[in-house]
Structure 1
Amino acid sequence: MNKNKQIVNKGTIDYRPEIDGLRAIAVISVIVYHLQINVFDFTVMSGGFLGVDIFFVISGYLITSIILKELNSTSGFSFLNFYERRARRILPILLVVMISTFVIGWFILFPAAYLDLAYSILYTLGFSSNFYFFISETQYQAVSSLFKPFIHTWSLAIEEQYYFIFPFVLVFLYNFLKKHIIKLLILAILINILLIHFSGNLNLSPPFFEKNFSFFAPAFIFDFYFLTSRFWELLFGSCLAYIEVKKINKNKNNTNHTLISIIGLAFIIFSLFFYNDKIFHPSVFTLLPVIGVSIIIYFTANNENFIKKLLSQRIFVGIGLISYSLYLWHYPIFAFGRINQNYDITVIHKVIWIAMTVILSVISYFYIERPFRNRNIINKNFLLKSILLASLLIIISNIVIIKNNGFKTRFDHLSKIYGTIEFDNDYLGEESWKYLQEFNAFKENKKVKILIVGDSHSKDIFNCFHQNTHLFPEYQFRRLGYDNNTRLRINTFIPGGKEEERKLMTKLLSSNPNFLQSEVVVISSRYSQNEVDALPNFINYLKEFDKHIILLSRTNEYEILKAPTRTQVDIKLLEIFKNRNEFDLEKRKNLEKIMYDKRILNKYENINNQLSKISEKYEIKYLKKQDFLCNEQSKLCDALTPDGNKIFFDNDHYTLKGAKYLGEKIYNMKWFNIE
């Protein structure tokens, strides 16, 4: 254990093996969460994402301990030495994982996904990947995030941003407000938690508080990915460090320490197994694991109790020591594994992923992490040169990847098989937004002006009509969606919602030329329950402007299209194209039969029933998308256009060519009419 003390902490603070035990719990929970293990409909460690929050508390504690110990020493605190230690700890293995990931990505990722990886790596190098995933609207808990090799670096970015800010704040407080440090830290924690919960209730204009006050109403600056939503967790660790350094915890023989430490561990275990991604997080709910880890850090500091001995066991300490490497390696390995295996993921595959992660992490720890942390092995000059060289390689390589749009030529062998048919779903997804870039005002003529409103599903319907304007010569189509400057969100009309948001929405709508000129409003969305609940108010608002309203159903979703990179349709297409250049009727019908059988009915039937009742109550037209997507009599659902192009690029969104084909079907079926 002495060796660990010298290498890990360089003598700055005393080595505490139980801290590595906590790291082990944190990294195991994160890895198990990302494995998505389900047993009898129970997700093992459904709250495993909280392992990141455990890491934050530990980081806040260790960093503050180091800074305070040095501030209290005769030599004082050195920013240069502090950031050198951070660089030695963080950068070498991170750079190796970056290089390995974009090299492996060359052979596995389709162009659009490879382009996304290049951007995420560059943002990670600048410790700002959390901002990248925020602006790219990537949801951490979404299925699509499982296929993004570097999404896990958002937490690393938060820690680094903390390291860039907090040392300066702490040094300032130490020099000018030394007696009030603990009070100010606690005050900052309370304010941060309150703002996370209530900031969305505050307005910049009178009235300054929402009429309908909400307990869970964060402003966007307290987003899941931002330091502003996690600062309090890091400060929890900082408070613990201050208490320890000031020796406020003087009682070394308190017999209650063991019991309290057990309670702390119970808090952690309960949250890891019984929380899930449906809870409001981070929030007061996150206090449970944060307090749990804080209790253990505090009550094991000067007491050889049962929990300290348990967490100091060799297995926990060993995992804790390689936890950083485990965290960095596991997500790229899991993402590439999922992309490569697609839907055929078995327990054996997951065991292989874990084995690869552990092997690479052990090698990384002994041959990269430990040597680079030791100044006697790697001097400052070599450290600087190696970091600069690796960073330069990463920057140049990924800029080249971006400039070449992900190098589609890497898949010439697939292009030869597919011919003119696009195989990259990510590209097809981006392409589907193409025509919306040409957004313009209604033309002054006798054509009926139709405005399509809603989320990305309104974009799909717009594409159906926009590409077939010759079939609908009596209509003009425009779209107003969540992505436009108006940010039309139907759920702002929900009863009991924020009055300020609704006022802003109605103001934006009433000043929008296309909204004012439109005669018909078509509502098309994926419809969350909140949106359904908001529809009556939204419909009444539209009627105030004498709009003719058409309500569209939720679109079909298909199980075989869930994987965003390669779906089962893609796999079957590849099999067909490898054997022959044309489709025969039997193979097409087989694929359409699979599509019909793999509809996720429970996802949209209940919503559609509610939509139908709303349309009857408010006497508006209701149209079901299933009518043009599937044939109930023959039990078939469209998967491909007549020339073999994919209709969907994911489980429920249309490709451009798919939308054009569906628009033709809509016309031929006379599905859309405004009478």
Structure 2
Amino acid sequence: MRPPTSAVHHIPGLDGLRAIAVIAVVWHHAHPGIAWLPASANGFLGVDLFFALSGWLITTLLLQERERYGQISLWNFYVRRALRIFPLYYALLALLSLYFLRAPQSTLAADFFQALPYHATYVSNWVQPDSLMAITWSLSTEEQFYLVWPPLLVWLGGRAVPWLLAFLVLNQVVNFGVLDGWLRTAGMPYESRDILQATFTPIVLGVLMAFGLRDKRAGAWLKRCLTAPMLWALVAVTLMWINWPGDLRGAPRLGFHVLVTLLIAGVVLQPGHLVVRALQWRPLAYVGTVSYGVYLLHKPALEGAHRLLAKAGIDAPGALFLLGLLLSVLAAGLSFRFFERPLLGLKERFRSPDRRRPTIDPASPPTA
């Protein structure tokens, strides 16, 4: 029996996971961490969670389209992605360009304009610019993967899985330091690029989980394994795992990627679980709904929050996080309601041939 992944219009709990991911990222950029709580210094793992979610969601959408209509329209897929990702992204770059033109001599302006070509072309993950929008490295990573992955899925179908596994091995060769010498010689030392530290591993694992959940035999096995008690266990182990002290390179980072991929599968397979109901808490789900905007806007929001707090004589990372998160959510909510949502309506023209809504509509983080 196929797991219940193909007969729903909304997956309970996923917005909550997106919210946790983006809140962790905002925390990471606002707070240096708490000495006795290692997890408080590992907020960057929120991006890895975004990657795994995106890999699963988008691949599931493509597989559903092929099952329902016998083919995948790459044109429709890329138009839908462009309508979801590009409007707010390029609008923000344009607004920041206009803002910084007013103060071209500032350090923030100089760094931004130096990095702007990389941001605008989605290659910032390979140059790691020192810019207010350096966070776009994660969006570049996703767009590069989805420039390659959907055509491979169309041409190879299930035969693409061995290629994914080979790519996964290559990513782990980087993660475990085997290529450190070569990377340093090439002018890309491991510690200088976020993409080398996160790698494409969580996206690939999300893609593989999408195949697993939609395969009759593998899906049934996963459903037997990812029971309600197992979901509790996954939550507990993941919470302990993110408290790994010090460097997460190697097995700790890979372990986290595996855990969050299994956690996503557990949430999908156990929609009535208490954990899933908690993830559906309305404020949390709302943040998840606008998480793409929160991610894009949180660095400018934190900069604004820092200036407001400085005028008030407040120098507290906790206050910076709370005010920055509040401003990010407010700005993202306004953007989603008045700018993004009207444009998203155009996606209906690029759905399936009879314009029926697919069962899952992947919102990006990032991204997501």
- TM interval, shorter chain, is 0.7 to 0.9
Could you tell me how far 1:355 is from its partner in structure 2?
Answer: 2.4
User: In structure 2, which of residues 202, 206, 218 is the aligned counterpart of residue 237 of structure 1?
Assistant: 206
User: In structure 2, which of residues 144, 148, 166 is the aligned counterpart of residue 161 of structure 1?
Assistant: 144
Could you tell me how far 1:219 is from its partner in structure 2?
Answer: 9.1
Task: Establish whether residue 321 from structure 1 lines up as the match of residue 321 from structure 2.
Answer: no
Task: Establish whether residue 307 from structure 1 lines up as the match of residue 278 from structure 2.
Answer: no
Task: Establish whether residue 197 from structure 1 lines up as the match of residue 170 from structure 2.
Answer: no
Deviating more after overlay: 24-33 vs 14-23: 14-23
User: In structure 2, which of residues 156, 161, 177 is the aligned counterpart of residue 173 of structure 1?
Assistant: 156
User: In structure 1, which of residues 252, 260, 263 is the aligned counterpart of residue 230 of structure 2?
Assistant: 260
Give the aligned partner of residue 269 of structure 1: 239
Distance 1:87 1:167 in 2: 14
* SS class of match (1:326): helix
What pairs up with 1:47-126 in 2 under 5 angstroms?
47-74=42-69, 76-106=71-101, 110-126=105-121
User: In structure 2, which of residues 153, 164, 169 is the aligned counterpart of residue 185 of structure 1?
Assistant: 164
CA RMSD of aligned residues (A): 3.5
Q: Does the CA-based 8 Å contact 1:271-1:289 persist in structure 2?
A: yes
Percent identity of equivalent pairs: 23
State the structure with more CA Rg. Answer: 1
Give the aligned partner of residue 285 of structure 1: 252
Q: Does the CA-based 8 Å contact 1:27-1:327 persist in structure 2?
A: yes
Tell me the amino acid that sits aligned with residue 353 of structure 1. G
Could you tell me how far 1:15 is from its partner in structure 2?
Answer: 2.0
Pair 43,198 (structure 1): closer, same or farther in 2 beyond 3 Å: closer
Distance 1:344 1:376 in 2: 45
Q: Deviations over 1:597-625 (max 9, x none)?
A: xxxxxxxxxxxxxxxxxxxxxxxxxxxxx
Could you tell me how far 1:202 is from its partner in structure 2?
Answer: 7.3
Tell me the amino acid that sits aligned with residue 289 of structure 1. F
Q: Does the CA-based 8 Å contact 1:221-1:228 persist in structure 2?
A: no
User: In structure 1, which of residues 361, 364, 369 is the aligned counterpart of residue 332 of structure 2?
Assistant: 361
Q: Does the CA-based 8 Å contact 2:174-2:196 persist in structure 1?
A: no
Could you tell me how far 1:87 is from its partner in structure 2?
Answer: 0.7
Task: Establish whether residue 294 from structure 1 lines up as the match of residue 277 from structure 2.
Answer: no
Could you tell me how far 1:115 is from its partner in structure 2?
Answer: 2.1
Q: Deviations over 1:462-500 (max 9, x none)?
A: xxxxxxxxxxxxxxxxxxxxxxxxxxxxxxxxxxxxxxx
Q: Does the CA-based 8 Å contact 1:13-1:69 persist in structure 2?
A: no
Could you tell me how far 1:328 is from its partner in structure 2?
Answer: 0.7
Distance 1:280 1:224 in 2: 15
Deviating more after overlay: 190-199 vs 344-353: 344-353
Could you tell me how far 1:267 is from its partner in structure 2?
Answer: 3.7
Could you tell me how far 1:294 is from its partner in structure 2?
Answer: 1.1
Pair 302,12 (structure 1): closer, same or farther in 2 beyond 3 Å: closer
What pairs up with 1:121-136 in 2 under 5 angstroms?
121-133=116-128
Tell me the amino acid that sits aligned with residue 46 of structure 1. A
Task: Establish whether residue 19 from structure 1 lines up as the match of residue 14 from structure 2.
Answer: yes
* SS class of match (1:372): helix
Q: Deviations over 1:34-73 (max 9, x none)?
A: 1116557757721101000011111111121122222333
Q: Deviations over 1:256-311 (max 9, x none)?
A: 61222122223433344x246x4144x32112332222112222323332322222
Pair 132,287 (structure 1): closer, same or farther in 2 beyond 3 Å: closer
List gaps (5 residues or longer) in structure 1. 1-10, 139-147, 204-216, 381-675
Distance 2:39 2:180 in 1: 36
Distance 2:70 2:144 in 1: 26
* SS class of match (1:233): helix
Distance 1:339 1:57 in 2: 34
Q: Does the CA-based 8 Å contact 2:30-2:320 persist in structure 1?
A: no
Q: Does the CA-based 8 Å contact 2:125-2:136 persist in structure 1?
A: yes
Task: Establish whether residue 335 from structure 1 lines up as the match of residue 306 from structure 2.
Answer: no
Could you tell me how far 1:184 is from its partner in structure 2?
Answer: 4.2
Pair 198,355 (structure 1): closer, same or farther in 2 beyond 3 Å: closer
Tell me the amino acid that sits aligned with residue 17 of structure 2. L
Give the aligned partner of residue 355 of structure 2: none
Could you tell me how far 1:106 is from its partner in structure 2?
Answer: 4.3
* SS class of match (1:103): helix
Could you tell me how far 1:117 is from its partner in structure 2?
Answer: 0.6
Q: Does the CA-based 8 Å contact 2:294-2:329 persist in structure 1?
A: yes
Pair 322,57 (structure 1): closer, same or farther in 2 beyond 3 Å: same
Distance 1:239 1:299 in 2: 15
Distance 1:255 1:193 in 2: 26
Q: Deviations over 1:334-373 (max 9, x none)?
A: 1354467499534555543332212101111112222211
Q: Does the CA-based 8 Å contact 2:226-2:266 persist in structure 1?
A: no
Distance 2:198 2:28 in 1: 21
- State the TM-score, normalized to the length of structure 2: 0.79
Q: Does the CA-based 8 Å contact 1:162-1:227 persist in structure 2?
A: no
Q: Does the CA-based 8 Å contact 1:131-1:226 persist in structure 2?
A: yes
What pairs up with 1:356-435 in 2 under 5 angstroms?
356-375=327-346
Which of the pair has the greater relative contact order for Cα pairs under 8 Å at 6+ separation?
A: 2
Could you tell me how far 1:166 is from its partner in structure 2?
Answer: 1.3
Pair 100,288 (structure 1): closer, same or farther in 2 beyond 3 Å: same
Q: Does the CA-based 8 Å contact 1:264-1:296 persist in structure 2?
A: yes
Distance 1:123 1:259 in 2: 46
Q: Does the CA-based 8 Å contact 1:268-1:289 persist in structure 2?
A: yes
Could you tell me how far 1:169 is from its partner in structure 2?
Answer: 2.2
- State the TM-score, normalized to the length of structure 1: 0.45
Distance 2:228 2:259 in 1: 13
Give the aligned partner of residue 225 of structure 1: 194
Pair 349,17 (structure 1): closer, same or farther in 2 beyond 3 Å: same
Tell me the amino acid that sits aligned with residue 108 of structure 2. A
User: In structure 1, which of residues 145, 149, 158 is the aligned counterpart of residue 132 of structure 2?
Assistant: 149
